[in-house]
Chain A
Amino acid sequence: MSFPWAQAYEPKAPLMKWLDQRLPLPRLVWNSVGGGYEVPRNLNYMWNFAVLAGFALMLQIVTGIVLAMHYAPAGDLAFESVEHIMRDVNQGWLLRYAHANGASFFFIVTYLHIFRGLYYGSYKAPRELVWMLGLVIFLLMMATAFMGYVLPWGQMSFWGAKVITSLFGAIPLVGEPIQAWLLGGFAPDQPALNRFFSLHYLLPFVIAGVVILHIWALHIPGSNNPTGVDIKSPQDTVPFHPYYTAKDGFGLGVFLILFCATLFFAPNYLGHADNYIPANPLSTPAHIVPEWYFWPFYAILRAFTVDFILPAKLWGVVAMFASILLLFFLPWLDTSPVRSGSYRPRFRQFFWILILDVLILGWVGGLPAEEPYVMISQIATMYYFAHFLIILPLLSKLERTLPLPNSIAESVLHGEKRESVPYGVQAKPAE
């Protein structure tokens, strides 16, 4: 679906005409990311991150497929085969560092994409399914990243796998059989490594499939925008190509500069030194920590320290999963009819507290479970749940929102909202 004023695809070259009549693939591309997709004209730079996440996924798949040609998923060979890639495979160091840092950058852009959705109310009707499919992608990403980190079979790989799979062991009665079934044994070993490799190769393609659904569902109502106001007239939109392809091209350049600066000059900064020690089931690292992108969730897991009816560990596991699953209910928890945080002054304050809260959770999640960090994580976890489950539902009832512009075009042409003017573009007075 698109807006009535969207340009229809008209093949010019004879080959394209021939192809369009038989397999309308060029038409599909045109309508999805070409001149046929009408997009609000006022998108700011926060709307760049979807394309960047898609780029990161492709980068991971391409580098990953080549790495898999040289990697051996066997307990006594895995570590050595990764070093073989680093030393003996042509440009192997580049592939592996790109893949390892690519995972981190994939999470960076995805987190920014998610928080953009939170701020501008992109989860609200009619985009609930876009939001929920996005969360499915996020969960799949987490599973893929976790299993990928196990593959080099270093100390953190092994002990991370042990800690994360032991979470399933916290389930009452059936927990330990489930854990043994997942691992194919009582501790991470050959069977676990082999199935993690198999799933690590499979899941990115599942992600790609859900991404298609995510985009499909998005294209029914069209993209949200910084005002959160619906598209009403041709004045409100521009075709995706060339307007947003050009803007995304610039965004991609900035992304690649930051990515390559890390990849070439600090390739191990985001990793953990212990993972250059081969896995040793007899020697436990001093502090077992997951990769940085899991730290907020790791902090929530460890915040529960008291057995209250249920064991503390089970509370932690339930809360950690709940912290993501509750986001599926967000469209019905936040019922304010106003989408954009720009017109919700109270919401905006709580949103920035949430950002700070998640950063604090990330900070304490990477630290050892010692006081006072545990207390900080407990307060931060309390705010996290209170924000989504108590504050947002109340806020949507009580808050007095600001008057919305009549249309996107009006908000742009009167230039009264600074958010809708991208950096570097002068807001001119109305003509």
Chain B
Amino acid sequence: MVRLLGALVGLGFLLVLAISLVTGITGFFREPPTETIEHKFHQDPKHVSFSFDGPFGKFDRQQLQRGFQVYKEVCAACHGLNLVAFRNLADLGYEEAEIKAIANQWAIEVPDINPETGEPTMRKAIAADRFPNPYANEVAARAANNNAMPPDLSLITKARHHGPAYVYSLLTGYQNPPANLPKEARPGQGLYYNPYFPNLNLAMPPPIAADGQVTYADGTNPTRDQMAKDVSAFLTWTAEPFLENRHRTGIAVLLFLLVATVLAYLSYRQIWASRKH
């Protein structure tokens, strides 16, 4: 009985699937799926290597500081970093006094309440504050950016496939649209062609426009490539501040587990030595 009912149910599913399949196949041959414009012109991120790649990877403190400088002087005008506090900059090798100065001189102030009158007011940032958002809210952000919303960058390298390579490719990937790009995919008013962006046209104007846009404190030559790479490294740190800790712990844990597993294997063999199995 179970088998009879089972076979009937099975044949029912097979029938509906067969109809679906035949419909799919006829549709496929009548109107073969065409490659979308995005699919044709979109490019995978460039290959770029960073000091934090691989199981032994570590951050390059100098590079993070340079990346932070790029963020501060270029990105921070539009993009927030609302999961990172000024005090976290200690990880980058800044001294306490430097961090206080960075917070105090930050271009955007922090909303507060006047302790005397209770009126809303603005004050200078302190080390314990998170990076203040450049816009009061999403409406203000869109109003200032041609209705595009500059995303918060705290997690951007984890929120995009190929994280740092994607950010690097996007920053260095602005170019003139290819001649064979169909009209409907050409960048409209206020849009910029970038094949690394999923729908090819991006509302963000090229942020790193020229070599030397930032004057690095450590004297590194600020080429566009260098700046894009440095800020990608910095944004990897903001997304995964414990990356080095994770790598270090992982190596120690794996070494321990390898030894423990070899011992477990040997004791398994010894216990079973007298038994065939």
Question: A335 to B1, alpha carbons, bound, how many Å?
Answer: 12
Is the Cβ of A93 less than 8 Å from the Cβ of B261?
no
Question: A88 to B277, alpha carbons, bound, how many Å?
Answer: 51
Of the listed stretches B7-15, B177-185, B228-236, chain A binds: B7-15
B8 to chain A, nearest CB (A): 9
Is the Cβ of A375 less than 8 Å from the Cβ of B28?
yes
Partner of A277, one of B10, B15, B159: B159
Of the listed stretches B73-81, B118-126, B218-226, B268-276, chain A binds: B268-276
Of the listed stretches B139-147, B207-215, B241-249, chain A binds: B241-249
Chain A 40-79 per-residue mask, 1 if CB under 8 angstroms from chain B, else 0? 0111000000000000000000000000000000000000
Question: A346 to B83, alpha carbons, bound, how many Å?
Answer: 59
Question: A425 to B14, alpha carbons, bound, how many Å?
Answer: 45
Is the Cβ of A315 less than 8 Å from the Cβ of B272?
no
State which residues 120-169 of B face A: CB under 8 Å: 151, 154-155, 158-161, 163
Is the Cβ of B271 less than 8 Å from the Cβ of A390?
no
Is the Cβ of B6 less than 8 Å from the Cβ of A249?
no
Contacts of A276 in B (CB 8 A): 155, 158-159, 239
Q: Which residue of B lies closest to A44 (CB)?
A: B277
Q: Which residue of B lies closest to A238 (CB)?
A: B275
Contacts of B250 in A (CB 8 A): 260-261, 263-265
Is the Cβ of A370 less than 8 Å from the Cβ of B33?
yes
Answer yes or no: A122 CB below 8 A from chain B CBs: no
Is the Cβ of B18 less than 8 Å from the Cβ of A382?
yes
Partner of B276, one of A319, A381, A412: A412
Answer yes or no: A256 CB below 8 A from chain B CBs: yes
Question: A421 to B151, alpha carbons, bound, how many Å?
Answer: 58
Partner of A246, one of B6, B10, B23, B271: B271
Of the listed stretches B96-104, B188-196, B252-260, chain A binds: B252-260
Is the Cβ of B275 less than 8 Å from the Cβ of A243?
yes
Is the Cβ of B2 less than 8 Å from the Cβ of A333?
yes
Answer yes or no: A270 CB below 8 A from chain B CBs: no
Question: A246 to B269, alpha carbons, bound, how many Å?
Answer: 9
Partner of A425, one of B6, B21, B272: B272
Partner of A250, one of B13, B198, B241, B268: B268
Contacts of B23 in A (CB 8 A): 305-306
Question: A131 to B223, alpha carbons, bound, how many Å?
Answer: 64
Contacts of A164 in B (CB 8 A): none
State which residues 1-54 of B face A: CB under 8 Å: 2-3, 6-7, 9-11, 13-21, 23-25, 27-28, 33
Contacts of A253 in B (CB 8 A): 257, 260-261, 264-265
Is the Cβ of A304 less than 8 Å from the Cβ of B276?
no
Is the Cβ of B261 less than 8 Å from the Cβ of A371?
no
Q: Which residue of B lies closest to A309 (CB)?
A: B16
Is the Cβ of A273 less than 8 Å from the Cβ of B254?
no
Partner of B277, one of A265, A322, A370, A425: A425
Is the Cβ of B17 less than 8 Å from the Cβ of A389?
no
Contacts of A385 in B (CB 8 A): 9-10, 13-14, 17
Question: A243 to B88, alpha carbons, bound, how many Å?
Answer: 51
Contacts of A174 in B (CB 8 A): none
Is the Cβ of A273 less than 8 Å from the Cβ of B161?
yes
Is the Cβ of A308 less than 8 Å from the Cβ of B19?
yes
Is the Cβ of B275 less than 8 Å from the Cβ of A303?
no
Supposing A87-B83, A304-B20, A315-B16 touch, asked if A265 and B247 sit within 8 A by C-beta, the answer is: yes
Answer yes or no: B105 CB below 8 A from chain A CBs: no
Answer yes or no: B267 CB below 8 A from chain A CBs: yes
Q: Which residue of B lies closest to A92 (CB)?
A: B242
Contacts of B268 in A (CB 8 A): 246-247, 249-250
Binding site for A on B (CB under 8 A): 2-3, 6-7, 9-11, 13-21, 23-25, 27-28, 33, 55, 83, 88, 151, 154-155, 158-161, 163, 198, 239, 241-242, 245-247, 249-251, 253-254, 257-258, 260-261, 264-265, 267-269, 271-272, 275-277
A–B Cβ pairs within 8 angstroms, 6 of them: A249-B268, A260-B257, A326-B9, A378-B24, A393-B3, A413-B276
Binding site for B on A (CB under 8 A): 41-43, 80, 83, 86-87, 93-94, 97, 238, 242-243, 246-247, 249-250, 252-254, 256-257, 260-261, 263-265, 267-268, 273-274, 276-277, 286, 303-306, 308, 312, 315, 319, 322, 326, 329, 332-333, 335, 370-372, 374-375, 378-379, 381-382, 385-386, 388-390, 393, 412-413, 415, 420-422, 424-425, 428
Leading 8 A-B pairs by shortest Cβ distance: A264-B250, A389-B10, A253-B261, A276-B159, A332-B2, A250-B264, A393-B3, A378-B21
